[in-house]
Structure 1
Amino acid sequence: MTTTRPDVPGPRQDTVESRIGAAFDDAGVRGFFFAREIDGERSIGVAADEPVVLASVFKIPVALAYAREAAAGRLDRTERHEVDMRYRDGGIGTSGCADPVSMSLRDLVHMMLTMSDNAATDVVLARVGLGTVNELLAGLGLGRTHLVGSCRELLGSLFAELGVSTEAEAHARMAAVVASDPGRVLELSVCVPERTTRSTARESAELLARIWRDEAGPAQACAEVRSVMAQQIWPHRLGSAFDDSYRLAGKTGTLPGWRNEAGVIEGPDGGRWAVAVFTRSDTPDLRNPRADRVIGQVARLAVDELRSFNL
């Protein structure tokens, strides 16, 4: 655990970190966490520099790359693209549509960030380019954040390792694997940071802080990403610990054993905090309310601690 809070005595530091660690323990997960002031330097971290699986949190840098390309005039936000059947995995949004779909790039980005539409993501990523996204991250000094492929490629590797061809078959197969050899789930490529799209909690929060300070690209591009992230429809993780007096913008991510969210929390007094929470459990449950709730719980603990210095 690491904490950076200038001029704060040790006992207070130990208290907040022990409470965050206890929250992860009580939820039955291993936690990786970093929160920082956007308009200051104070931060709190728990395993903040250890590698994590991004899952759909990787859609934030994809959106940023799109917005930077649009701001530079290298693509048109209104250009229309077919959501080809090969991109559709039967999930939400265009991923589950039965009939032909054509959308503008900016609407595809909206679907990608607000509801985590995988097919929309892959169309945007194909247009922007995987190399462009990774070059952007490297240029921002986020050397431990790296994308290895599209949603279709990540899921394809998962299906191949499980010996299945559909998401429904994958869930059934994973249940059987857990019953016989629980540790094998975390050995799947998509569950191992070094073998898949990855980052750290610190770098994920730092990226958000730069977007919110207009330091990750042109102000127009950063504002576009902020606006769409504020419309995410999932309230069950970060949002579970904050009432309507707080404004939230975030992006969730889920893969077997991993439940994540990275976002920005704005308080009623104007304070702003970038938060990234990644959790890993030994089981690939479709629903894990304790793991979902602890994401909001530790974010609230950190925000309350950081906020207290400005009261």
Structure 2
Amino acid sequence: MTPEEILTAAGVRGFLHARRVDGAGPDTGFGIDEPVVLSSVVKVPLVLEFARQAAAGQLDPRDRVRARAADRLGGAGSAGCADDVEYSLRDAARLAISVSDNTAADLLFDRVGVENVRSLTAELGLAGTRIFGSPRDVLRTILDDGEAGRPLRALDPACTSAGTPREMTELLSLIWRDEAGPPSACALVRDLMGRQVNWHRLTAGFPAEVAVAGKTGTMPGLRNEIGVASYPDGTDYAIAVFTRGGSENLREPAIDRAIGEAARTAVEQLRA
């Protein structure tokens, strides 16, 4: 089956783009310029902006932040802790990427500035990428929309943080080529994405000898992941897969597997 057929068979509408990081050869995909909700994929440009500011000496990555009760949204990492937690900015970046800690991302957004993340995407030429705000900001729209009984803006790419599959693979390619900022900043993002603990989407689709660094994004009815698959021959492939549909359960193993299978199939097409 084609990558699109794989996702359709899983009961979702897919949007996918894959390319070689070095820009050589063709690319492949479908829905590559369609707006899609980033969800936690937004943490990649967030952490990149943090890393750039740290490299420029605009902030000290060892500065400490405190996640208090009012900050903790629930979920993974410090977002779900029962008590106050304190950590450095660089550990906030690690938590935001590795376990998709929303509270760590909020604290990082507070420090680096939402406007600066928006400026970053503009500087990199990602004209179709929109940074709405932090996870806290998105949660507020969900609560407001739920109380008002209207469709959730958080699920509408016109009303929340959004991008396109093509722009997400461009972002990854720039990071992997050290063109998204100072080499030290790009290296930090690559390292943190390689430490993501969620292996059930992109990583699950590739054989063990292929290293995959990625960042997932999940909301009811939305399941995404962007990442880079590095083959033993030294070739790197940037991949972005976004899906809409399926149940609103956050755990949908069949869709997760389909994301990885579609990604691997797309890369195999390129390698062929």
Tell me the distance in 2 between the aligned counterparts of 1:24 and 1:111: 29
> Could you tell me which residue of structure 2 aligns to residue 24 of structure 1?
7
Partner-residue secondary structure (3-state), 1:193: coil
How far apart are residue 117 of structure 1 and its match?
Answer: 0.2
* Structure with the higher fraction of residues in helix conformation: 1
Regions of 4+ moved over 2 Å:
none
> Could you tell me which residue of structure 2 aligns to residue 94 of structure 1?
78
Task: Confirm or deny that 1:200 pairs with 2:200.
Answer: no
Contact 2:212 2:230 in 1 (8 A): yes
**Identical-residue share of aligned pairs (%):** 46
Residue identity matched to 1:207: L
Out of 103, 108, 120, the position equivalent to 1:119 is 103
> Could you tell me which residue of structure 1 aligns to residue 21 of structure 2?
38
Partner-residue secondary structure (3-state), 1:293: helix
Partner-residue secondary structure (3-state), 2:70: helix
Unaligned runs of 5+ residues in structure 2 are none
Q: Which has the higher contact order (CA 8 A, sep 6+)?
A: 2
Task: Confirm or deny that 1:151 pairs with 2:138.
Answer: no
Contact 1:271 1:307 in 2 (8 A): no
How far apart are residue 101 of structure 1 and its match?
Answer: 1.0
Give the superposed CA RMSD. Answer: 1.4
> Could you tell me which residue of structure 1 aligns to residue 208 of structure 2?
244
Tell me the distance in 2 between the aligned counterparts of 1:50 and 1:96: 33
Structure 1 length normalisation: TM-score?
0.84
Unaligned runs of 5+ residues in structure 1 are 1-17, 165-176, 178-183
Alignment of 1:147-226 (within 5 A): 147-163=131-147, 187-226=151-190
Tell me the distance in 2 between the aligned counterparts of 1:85 and 1:221: 31
Deviations along 1:135-178, one digit per CA (max 9) or x if unpaired, are: 010011101111111111111211222239xxxxxxxxxxxx9x
Tell me the distance in 2 between the aligned counterparts of 1:152 and 1:96: 14
How far apart are residue 217 of structure 1 and its match?
Answer: 0.5
Structure 2 length normalisation: TM-score?
0.96
- Mark the structure with the bigger radius of gyration: 1
> Could you tell me which residue of structure 2 aligns to residue 305 of structure 1?
269
Partner-residue secondary structure (3-state), 2:158: helix
CA 125–41 in structure 1, closer or farther in 2 if over 3 Å, else same: farther
